[in-house]
Amino acid sequence: MDATIVPKMQKHYPVLLKEIISVISPQHGGTFIDCTFGQGGYTKKILDFKNTNVIALDRDNESEKIAAQLKENFEDRFIFKNIKFSQLSNLKLKNENIRGVVFDLGYSYTQIKDPQKGLSFDANGKLNMKLGLNSYSAEDAINKLDEKELEKIFKFFGDEKEAKYISRNIIKERSKNKIDTQSLVEIIDKSKKRKNFKVHNATKVFQALRIFVNKEVSELINGLINATKVLKKGGVIGVVTFHSLEDKIVKYFFKSLSENKSVSRYSPVVKQADTLFNLIHKKPIIPSEEEVSENPSSRSAKFRYAIKKTDFYNFDTDIKEQFRNYIEIENYGDKL
């Protein structure tokens, strides 16, 4: 959820870069997919190693400008696609030697500072929160969904304890005026009885709206499934998350496919002992104290990875069932 760039130094800072490079080992060459290109921090580092190729994706078309510069130096080894990572399977990558797929979730400092995107509660003007390639905005959600739906979004995606009062007051206010960023902040301030002096009152509601508008749960689940399909035997899938819901999804996906029970029982070629992933670490890798002091917004980052043990991808995962509640809430957006 946090930015990966140091605000005070205005410097680009890819989170957990050293740890990611050591896990995906680009020194051995091969093709890597950077699902969240952003400012290109991970991609540039991978391309520093000879015999590597990178296919980078980002849903924000602003990334295309940075990608175009990189393309000048790495014409034959670098491709950028302005697509969502859930659409990875559209790339038809079956014959590529994919050695690693990385995800660095959330948004970057440049995105949060972009007033047009309206991700920050400091922004003035229209509510937006679209990272790119979206069908609806936070303004649509706040001004069109019903009270119960808004309450669920704030509760499930933001863990907001006072979701009920906030959504009730939104409904009251919007019958008089269209709600924009600052009026939403005021409604939240007025609704919240429990004040928290450490974090801004609007933090949880804004996080919840961002997850909803960008369908982050479905994106992550489909991204993980599609990335696993294109990965070769011995290849690594690694994900940096910034909030507990993302981490729960990644943890469940890796763990459930590292245990015998989750391998497809309909697949005759799979023996009992075969599982899809090898999990080296059960616990996530977190940034060092040094990294956190240099880049405080890295403090909530968690990195999990798994190694694919087979070339096949005929596997069963019940992850959509497991997170059905969240997917159903995201689907409220279908009517907007």
| Residue from 224, 243, 249 nearest 301 by CA | 243
Question: Could you say whether residue 222 binds ligand SAM (CB under 6 A)?
Answer: no
Question: Could you say whether residue 42 binds ligand SAM (CB under 6 A)?
Answer: yes
CA distances for 148 relative to 144, 156, 167, 230, 259, angstroms: 12, 12, 8, 39, 38
Question: Could you say whether residue 60 binds ligand SAM (CB under 6 A)?
Answer: yes
Q: In angstroms, rounded to a whole number, what is the distance separating the alpha carbons of residues 14 and 250?
A: 20
Question: Could you say whether residue 246 binds ligand SAM (CB under 6 A)?
Answer: no
38 versus 158: smaller Cβ distance to ligand SAM: 38
Among 21, 32, 81, 104, binds ligand SAM (CB under 6 A): 104
Cβ neighbors of 29 (< 8 A, separation 6 or more) are 49, 50, 51, 52, 99
Number of residues that bind ligand SAM (CB under 6 A): 21
- For the CB of residue 222, give the shortest distance to ligand SAM in the complex, in Å: 9
Reduce the DSSP state of residue 326 to 3 states and report it: helix
Cβ neighbors of 267 (< 8 A, separation 6 or more) are 312, 314, 315
Among 21, 26, 59, 151, binds ligand SAM (CB under 6 A): 59
Two tokens, residue 119:
């991700």
191 versus 295: smaller Cβ distance to ligand SAM: 295
310 versus 327: smaller Cβ distance to ligand SAM: 327
Among 31, 108, 262, 300, binds ligand SAM (CB under 6 A): 108
Question: Could you say whether residue 287 binds ligand SAM (CB under 6 A)?
Answer: no
Question: Could you say whether residue 38 binds ligand SAM (CB under 6 A)?
Answer: yes
Give the total residue count for the chain: 336
